[in-house]
Structure 1
Amino acid sequence: MDLEGISGILISFDQEKAFDRVEHEFIIQVLRAMNFQSNFIRWIEIIYTNISSKVIIKGALSDKIEIARYIRQGRPISMSIYAVIIEALACKVRRNNNIQGVQIPNHNTNVKLFQHADDCSIISTNLTDYEKLLEEFKQFGLVSGSKINENKTEILKIGNPNTNKLWQYKQTTQRRNESPWNMVWDAVEINWKKKYYGLIQQIDKWKKKEKYKHKVLVRNTYIL
């Protein structure tokens, strides 16, 4: 995206403990609103109903702790569930006609946000979008349990936006080595090169293993 001649803001929002804060009831509500099959929703309800944990303290188990929120990380379906949940926020932002976003050259489309897992970035030439987005995040948090991580949320000024506003979140002038900022710069080169060579290193560590099942496990974990 060519930002020459544009004045505005680029904000990277981070969800605080994103997977841990999602209310189980909200998961079911979103699945129903998006017309998932009832049989699939029932299985998700089974997974997230009557969950409890115990803590070992000095060798002794505590009483049961009822758990009403969190998405189990490490499960194959967990990332997909979170993607559905965060899409509810994206729908609200896209449908908010008071949030302008940025016009894509040669397209009759305004982009209002970019999402990657629990990271949500927006670019806007309209500074009033800032307050309106915060309100959308606030409303989303009330129903989902999510919360913005203020320590990881950053604002990057583009050009010379005409404002003396004291931003709530920290400002940055540094180029980020990975997304979200590199959607403006050479994103493909920087974001993928590091991951590609990291993947090659992991494969090299395991390629001498004799058992076929070990090789399959590595490929499923690091490639697929």
Structure 2
Amino acid sequence: MTDHPPMRSFGRIKSRPIKPRQAALMDTLLPRIRIPDGTIELSALAPGAAEVWLEIGFGGGEHMAAQAARRPDVLILGAEPFLNGVASALRHLDERGLENVRLHAGDVRELLSRLPDASLARIFILFPDPWPKARHHKRRLIQADLLAELARVLAPGGRLRFASDWADYVDWTLERALRTPGLSWTAQRADDFRRPPADHVTTRYEEKRLGDCAPVFLDFVKA
């Protein structure tokens, strides 16, 4: 397992006041489902889970909660530094009564550094901040070192899904992922990346179409 310094989070950690109900869940539910510090024993987090998935930057938690509801046999880890997003996700988990999600309210690289090799079956990175200005590209989540870490924690046959509605970020990600040892792009034809995958869950953020192109979905598999 490789040690990495924590990656600086360039996004907003908190913007608007957290609603009272969500604030209460931050005090009650989050401590119960927070991923503990130190070495992570995945079997202890969810004994009997068929697989372990990770969503990086889960936003408001809609996609994560929907996937967890579909697959109660899977343990889903979620990482998000934006506290309003964490609070929103807690509401979704509480309303659905989901017990198979564990959260890291912080930078995902700190979490990745504590995960065992080949421990994840799926990773989702959906519509991350594109940082479209060239001088800000160094702030993008997708970088060579992060992709190397994702390849390390993916099990053979495991899948990484990246989605964006910014054309330059799609090209940026594809270029770097194809240079990452162990990752292979699964697309065989244009519809494989132009159409949402069958198991995709559309969120309110995605529906806003804030980017400069239609959503693109890149799926990679670990060799």
TM-score (norm 2): 0.27
Greater per-residue helix proportion: 1
Higher relative contact order (CA 8 A, sep 6+): 1
User: TM-score if structure 1 supplies the norm length?
Assistant: 0.27
Question: For the pair shown, which has the larger CA radius of gyration, 1 or 2?
Answer: 1
